Amino acid sequence: MSNLKDTFLTPLGLNNPVAVQVLGICSALAVTAQLEPAIVMGLSVTIILAVANVVISLLRNTIPNRIRIIVQLVVVATLVTIVSEVLKAFAYDVSVALSVYVGLIITNCILMGRLEAFAMQNGPIDSLIDGFGNGLGYAIILVIVAAIRELFGAGCLFGCQIIPDCVYELGYMNCGLMLMPPMALIILGCIIWFMRAKNPDLQEK
């Protein structure tokens, strides 16, 4: 039981896929200008990763080793297509905001990494937990970055104005750079910096 708990918790902190393994950076930069798309993106990746992990883990003994990447890609691509269609049907605005990045979940390194490294060696229940853990670890970083960017870049969270008008009247201005990808990279760098300062084990020698 404690093993399952570890499987779930380490990707959220000490083995975070974005902040520690530095995977999935591209989408973390692209979709984090606002909080809402970031959350949707995080959840989509979590669901796809969890389901794909279970499917691959069930198939793991029957997949011929030479074509395993193709099989994994087929599974992931199917799930991504389903999620993309669901988003278009029920959350059209968000799916427009995410544009190609939903489709590009297929190329997210976190997915292939977990399928190769975990689902191919472990049972379905472990894989399910691992998928959720890693997906949520990715989502947490996205939410933190998006919250900082939307708050300082547009003065709002979820599209509602947070910074009151009286502050603007004093001369405060939104920082336009926050809405551009370079600032997302810098914020991400700060998160990594913070995590490594807190946990010296993570620092390379």
Partner 1 sequence: MKALRNFLDKVKPNFEEGGKLSAFRSVFDGFETFLFVPNTVSKNGTHIHDTIDSKRVMSIVVIALIPALLFGMYNVGYQNYLAAGTLEQASFLEVFIFGFLAVLPKIIVSYVVGLGIEFTVAQWKKEEIQEGFLVSGMLIPLIVPVECPLWVIAVATAFAVIFAKEIFGGTGYNIFNVALITRAFLFFAYPTKMSGDQVWVAKDSIFGLGNDLPEGFSGATTLGQLSTGSPVVDLANNGVELKDMIIGLLPGSIGETSVIAILIGAVILLWTGVANWRTMASVFVGGALTAMLFNAIGSTTNQVWNLDWMQHLAVGGFCFGAVFMATDPVTSPRTDCGKYIFGFLIGVVAIVIRCMNPGYPEGMMLAILLMNVFAALIDYCFVQHNINKRLKRINNR
Interacting residue ranges for partner 1, rule: CB under 8 A: 171-173, 175-178, 180, 186, 193
Residue 124 near residue 57, CB atoms below 8 Å: yes
Q: Where does residue 90 rank: exposed (0-12), middle (13-18), buried (19+ CB within 10 A)? A: exposed
Name the minimum Å distance from CB 187 to partner 1.
11
Longest dimension (CA), the chain: 66
| DSSP string computed for 97-112 | HHTHHHHGGGG-HHHH
In whole angstroms, how close is the CB of 185 to partner 1 at the nearest point? 11
Q: How far apart are CA 43 and CA 1, in angstroms?
A: 25
Whose Cβ is closer to partner 1: residue 89's or residue 173's? Answer: 173
Dihedral sign (CA 32, 103, 53, 15): negative
| Residue 143 or 180 having the CB closest to partner 1 | 180
25 vs 73 by CB, closer to partner 1: 25
Least spacing, CB of residue 59 vs partner 1, in Å: 45
Q: Is 115 or 154 the residue whose CB approaches partner 1 more closely?
A: 154
133 vs 153 by CB, closer to partner 1: 153
> For strand 156-157 and strand 160-161, is the pairing parallel, antiparallel, or unpaired?
antiparallel
Q: Smallest distance from the beta carbon of 202 to partner 1, in angstroms?
A: 17
CB of 93 to partner 1, least distance (A): 27
